[in-house]
Structure 1
Amino acid sequence: MSTPQDLDVYPFPGSSIRGPDPRFARLREQQPVVRVHTEGGVDAWLVTRYEDCRALSADPRLSRAAACGEGAPRVGGTMHTTPEMIISLDHPEHSRLRKLVAGAFTLRRVEQMRPQIKGVVDEMLDEMQGKGAPIDLVAQLCLPLPLVVIGDLLGVPGAELQVFEKWARAFATVDERAGGEDSLAAMGKLAEYIVGLIAEKRAKPGNDMLSELIAARDNDDKLSEPELVTFGFTLIGAGFDTTACQLANSILAMIEHHRPQWNALVENPDRIPAAVEEMLRHINLFATDTTGFPRVAIADIDVAGVTIRAGDAVLLALSSANRDERVFPNADTFDHARDPNPHLSFGHGLHYCLGKHLARLEMELVFEGLIARFPGLRLAVPEDELPWYQGEINHMLKALPVTW
């Protein structure tokens, strides 16, 4: 079926951290690949089943570069990214850049960071205990922790990166009425900030990832200057924003919506790693129910009885895929011991999340610390009074006041 369906304009309004808009369940059963109107005025194919989302995520006929270049269709509810950003590239350009930093994000390297990151978490929780309740967990823990961690990796003090946060927030905000101008302006500010950092690191290199990228640029000519700049702010933004959002959303969900599972983890903290995987699957990060990055077909693709034509825009609904009963029995139930749990929250294929091991580790250490010290953690205000950012790619709390 090629006619756009009367489903409301994408993104659908019914998405929350509790899950994707309920109509995704019907689409998975009846129209797993369907044309929708988007806020930008461009029609796009929306893919909702797990099997199709996973296969198309790794299909080279679906291009990120074609969705970001000059003249690309402007798909509403998605992020503006420039062509030289790693998240905008296809193979082999994407693989060339990814190889420069992949070694820092292997499971072995991340596990070596465990004592250091645990120390940061413990210090923040010590301060939390010292201040007493109530306290805002977004400001106290969820936002500063990933900022400090990515700052250490890149060789930038976490406190200095706090100035980066407001521009990264604006960059991740989608406002179709403004034509994305605020997002693009924020991208310019991020680039300006990174240019200054690069100048400092060139003058005084350190034992950090940003210094290594500069050396790869200056000594080995492995990336261009624009690639270096955009790589820098992409790593910082990706390294803190999604983790900060997922941490806050998961804490809220566990203490307010899944209290029996929280109590089970208090009794058996060794189950936290499996519970984190279920948080990643079940507690919806994506406000658009996709990652916010559209793709464009560069050849005809047949999927689920539909032909996606070359030039068509495509959206992969990962939140919907994570609720597919064909893969996850009782998919709408939070099961902290679910096994296996092959969720797609980190994507799949070429653009599989580089920082997946780091994000998992940060979530595990946060829940270990909170459950050990604050087993009675609870909201300090009614849930309907919690403030949320609007128009973002991810569900993001402005504050999470808690007591214990």
Structure 2
Amino acid sequence: MPPHLPLRDPAFVQNPYPTLERLREETPMFHDAALNKTVVLRYDDISGMLRDKRFGRTLTHLYSRDELGWPPPDPAQAQFDAFNGNHMLDSEGEKHTRLRSLVGKAFTPRRVETLQPRIEAMLEGRLHALGHRFDLVADYAEPLPVTVIAELLGVPEAERANLRPWSAAIVKLYEPNYTAAQQAEAERAVQDFSALIRRLADERRAVPRDDLITALVQVEEAGERLSLSELTDTCILLLNAGHEASVNGLSAGVLALLRQPEHWEALVQAAQQDDSLNIFRTAIEELLRYDTPLPMFERYALEDLDWKGVPLKVGDKVALLYASGNRDSRRFDTPDTLRLARDPNPHLTFGLGRHYCIGAPLARLELALSLRALVRHVPGLRLAEPDALPEYEGGFVIRGLKRLKVRV
């Protein structure tokens, strides 16, 4: 029977690692007919393709849809496709270079670091509102990233309630086999989110503030500026990408720690002896490697090529299994063992090369601060249902826990 990635199988989504290990050893690259993609499982192949300019996030900067033999765009997701084609993540060539440079001048590490006191205050308030039993996903992990991105962008508090539902609706279209109802919901979310950002951008042109939307409105390099559509779609991307990585990364990380409580206790002891954030920054890197929150990304072959004996044609899709590469014993010692002090830790979670995640500094800061605050505030944290299997939202491309019931 030909190899296959069972992306819709709840058992695989719940624990993909045994299947990924078997496939990684037996068939490290294979064509999955059901997915119509070449699946790539080993670290060196994934990292190599991410750095290789013969692979890209899109093809339309080089070829027309007719040349590629693609069907016409689906009018039912015109808004989503326009958004996807207009931000840096799915751009290539000169457009990508221009967008990344302009956004990078506004979304700086310095701007991110200035958020630390505000993040710490938000975490403190959230923790004091928790009871003796709570859902770590809904009550702790989910609220922070939305609030942080909203504050970073400058979205007024009265406008924030829809941000999480909009993000959740949009990212559904990155999963295979989405439904017509999910497609329609994503279309509405892009349209409504875009309308909000456009209005805020107009307001910031008239009355600038110290926020990212103002910085994106004002940023200029060599006479180049962001168009209104580029600015809007960049803001949507920052919310979607930053939110999913932070929520899923923290939830999965805490689950791993509480399933192996000796690691949780080690962090409790470390926090009592050392007030710095460094221990938690290192621990977060390992947790992101150990259970990857965004397990799979795709690339197109931009030309006909041969990759280690595997022929690929222009337009062929490769599915890069970050979750598999992060557990590859060829790159990591004892990869299935959680080692919070692992160093170096060159995991793939934020990507590599020209599409390396521009929001990685913010995600790392949020995650380290969130974990430290949790360890300090509730050192006796335990799983409320230790024998229950974890429940996931249903997708693998963006793999997140539905809930994580814990107790103090």
Q: What's the TM-score bracket when you normalise by the shorter of the two chains?
A: 0.7 to 0.9
Which of 328, 331, 334 is the aligned partner of 1:324?
Answer: 328
Partner residue of 1:340? 344
Counterpart CA distance in 1 for 2:92 and 2:9 is 28
Q: Residue 352 of structure 1: CA displacement?
A: 0.5
TM-score by length of 1: 0.85
Structure 1 residue 7 corresponds to structure 2 residue 4: yes
Which of 51, 58, 62 is the aligned partner of 1:65?
Answer: 58
Counterpart CA distance in 1 for 2:357 and 2:139 is 26
What's the % identity of the aligned pairs?
A: 34
1:67–1:296 CA contact under 8 A, matched in 2: no
Q: Residue 284 of structure 1: CA displacement?
A: 2.8
Which of 188, 194, 198 is the aligned partner of 2:197?
Answer: 194
2:138–2:403 CA contact under 8 A, matched in 1: yes
SS of aligned partner of 1:335: coil
**What is the identity, as a one-letter code, of the residue corresponding to 1:134?**
R
Q: Residue 23 of structure 1: CA displacement?
A: 2.7
Which of 11, 31, 34 is the aligned partner of 2:30?
Answer: 34
1:14–1:21 CA contact under 8 A, matched in 2: no
How is 1:246-261 mapped onto 2 (pairs within 5 angstroms)? 246-255=249-258, 257-261=259-263
Point out the more displaced range, 179-188 or 9-18.
9-18
Structure 1 residue 99 corresponds to structure 2 residue 107: no
Counterpart CA distance in 1 for 2:41 and 2:9 is 13
Q: Residue 313 of structure 1: CA displacement?
A: 1.1
How is 1:206-285 mapped onto 2 (pairs within 5 angstroms)? 206-216=209-219, 222-255=225-258, 257-269=259-271, 270=274, 271-285=279-293
1:371–1:104 Cα change, 3 Å:
farther
Structure 1 residue 89 corresponds to structure 2 residue 97: no
1:44–1:313 CA contact under 8 A, matched in 2: yes
Counterpart CA distance in 2 for 1:15 and 1:158 is 39
Q: Residue 215 of structure 1: CA displacement?
A: 2.8
Deviations 1:341-400 (A, max 9, x none): 110000001110111111111111111111112111122345637653223632223333
1:136–1:399 CA contact under 8 A, matched in 2: yes
Counterpart CA distance in 2 for 1:114 and 1:17 is 33
Point out the more displaced range, 60-69 or 227-236.
60-69
Counterpart CA distance in 1 for 2:260 and 2:201 is 45
1:148–1:159 CA contact under 8 A, matched in 2: no
Counterpart CA distance in 2 for 1:94 and 1:391 is 28
Q: How many residues align?
A: 384
Which of 302, 311, 327 is the aligned partner of 1:307?
Answer: 311
Partner residue of 1:45? 38
2:3–2:30 CA contact under 8 A, matched in 1: no
Q: Residue 152 of structure 1: CA displacement?
A: 1.8
**What is the identity, as a one-letter code, of the residue corresponding to 1:144?**
P
Counterpart CA distance in 1 for 2:195 and 2:303 is 37
Counterpart CA distance in 2 for 1:107 and 1:203 is 26
2:87–2:99 CA contact under 8 A, matched in 1: no
Partner residue of 1:290? 296
Deviations 1:154-193 (A, max 9, x none): 1113563231211210111136152562334433333233
**What is the identity, as a one-letter code, of the residue corresponding to 2:133?**
P
1:282–1:211 Cα change, 3 Å:
same
Unaligned runs of 5+ in 1: none
Counterpart CA distance in 1 for 2:155 and 2:183 is 28
Deviations 1:11-44 (A, max 9, x none): 66554465x34232233223222111345xxx11
Q: Residue 321 of structure 1: CA displacement?
A: 0.5
1:177–1:275 Cα change, 3 Å:
closer
Q: Residue 123 of structure 1: CA displacement?
A: 2.2
Structure 1 residue 24 corresponds to structure 2 residue 20: yes
Counterpart CA distance in 1 for 2:8 and 2:108 is 34
Structure 1 residue 142 corresponds to structure 2 residue 141: yes
SS of aligned partner of 1:268: helix
Counterpart CA distance in 1 for 2:398 and 2:164 is 15
